[in-house]
Structure 1
Amino acid sequence: MELTEDLKDAIATGYARRDRDDMAPTIAYFEGLLAEHPEHPVLVLEVAGAYDTAGREADAAVRYERALDLGLDGDDLRRCLCQYGSTLRWLGRLEESVAVLERARAQFPQSDAVRVFLALSLAEAGSTDAAVAQLLAVITDHADVTDLGRYAVGLRGLGTWLGAGRPEDAE
């Protein structure tokens, strides 16, 4: 479903008015937009995000699932998968969180946000080597804007080794 310029402007207005300490008005605003445009996947995503920011993860999860069912693509899909995966982590649904974020990783392999949220879920699920591997990949992909310099190649190799499950340990 198309996101018109008017809807883009309305969404931007909702974000401009958002008060993270009191999300009730933002939730009401986005719920109102959704009532005007029922079943619009991006608006369902925005409502989910508002509930999520308010700390109402169970309410958010249902709406993320609905947004996915309605069909998202591109950046909206990437955002939804990241946010939904993170919400599942907060809800303690770690296997589902990792699965959602691995789907996102497959669809958006260069997304730093996906890789960081996946690392958080992997760490929470006890897969610390895989989590560190994800973070090292993000960091070394941007070595030029850090002071990693010559360490980037070695750290990238370490990340690959950790991500492969410490292959030398298996011998």
Structure 2
Amino acid sequence: MDWQSRVDAVWADVGLTDDERIAAIDALASELPAADARGLFERAGAHDAAGAEAEAEPLYRAALEAGLDEERRPQAVIQLASTLRNLGRSDEAVALLRTEIDREPASPLRDEAAAFLSLALATGGDALGAASVALLTLVPHLRRYRGAVTRYAEDLAASRG
């Protein structure tokens, strides 16, 4: 079984405790060079999922700096932003997520980034901004009322003061 399949198997094992998952992911990551972005990303995720955001943050940053592929990079940005929000740093999360959403070519997880942007805005006290982002992200998925929802969402954003 290849390395990623073994990592996926650890994540799929619902019987593992947080500590067991961290240990298993750390062991798999140790098979790679210490600065390998994939290993750093998986280690960050394991700590993050266990509620150890303070330990996850530097690992996410190191993984992004080491250079993740286009499948993992947007995941790492979103997960880092979520971690920052949970650590009480919503402004940093908002900045990271806005950059991801504005990225060209478009991030494959643009809508997911917008969902976490909405959470970060709400946590930071900008409920109208959060609602606007969420609604504007939803608009392309609506079968009807796209124009009305777009206008209302833009009005919410404009009324934020």
TM-score range, shorter chain: 0.7 to 0.9
SS at 2:71 equivalent: helix
SS at 1:31 equivalent: helix
Q: CA deviation at 1:42?
A: 1.7
TM-score by length of 2: 0.88
Native 8 Å contact 2:115 2:134 kept in 1:
yes
Cα separation, partners in 2 of 1:60 and 1:105, compared to 1, 3 Å: same
Q: CA deviation at 1:122?
A: 0.8
Q: CA deviation at 1:18?
A: 4.2
Residue 152 (str. 1) matches residue 152 (str. 2): no
Q: 1:31 aligns with which of 26, 31, 39?
A: 26
- 1:80-119 counterparts in 2 under 5 A? 80-107=76-103, 108=107, 111-119=110-118
Instruction: Indicate the percent of aligned positions where both proteins have the same amino acid.
Output: 31
Q: Which amino acid aligns with 1:158?
A: Y
Q: d(CA) in 1 for partners of 2:109 and 2:149?
A: 18
Q: d(CA) in 2 for partners of 1:40 and 1:11?
A: 14
Q: Which amino acid aligns with 1:115?
A: A
Q: d(CA) in 2 for partners of 1:24 and 1:7?
A: 20
Unaligned stretches of 5+ in structure 2? Answer: none
Unaligned stretches of 5+ in structure 1? Answer: none
Q: d(CA) in 2 for partners of 1:51 and 1:110?
A: 22
Q: CA deviation at 1:73?
A: 3.3
Cα separation, partners in 2 of 1:139 and 1:118, compared to 1, 3 Å: same
**Which residue is 1:127 aligned to?**
126
TM-score by length of 1: 0.83
Q: Which amino acid aligns with 2:75?
A: R
Q: d(CA) in 1 for partners of 2:119 and 2:32?
A: 34
Superposed CA RMSD: 2.0
Q: d(CA) in 1 for partners of 2:56 and 2:124?
A: 21
**Which residue is 1:49 aligned to?**
45
Residue 142 (str. 1) matches residue 137 (str. 2): no
Q: d(CA) in 2 for partners of 1:161 and 1:40?
A: 45
Q: Deviations over 1:81-120 (max 9, x none)?
A: 1000000000001111111111211222862110000010
Q: Which amino acid aligns with 2:36?
A: H
Q: Which amino acid aligns with 1:79?
A: Q
SS at 1:72 equivalent: coil
Runs of 4+ in 1 over 6 A off after TM superposition: none
Native 8 Å contact 2:101 2:110 kept in 1:
yes
Number of aligned pairs? 157
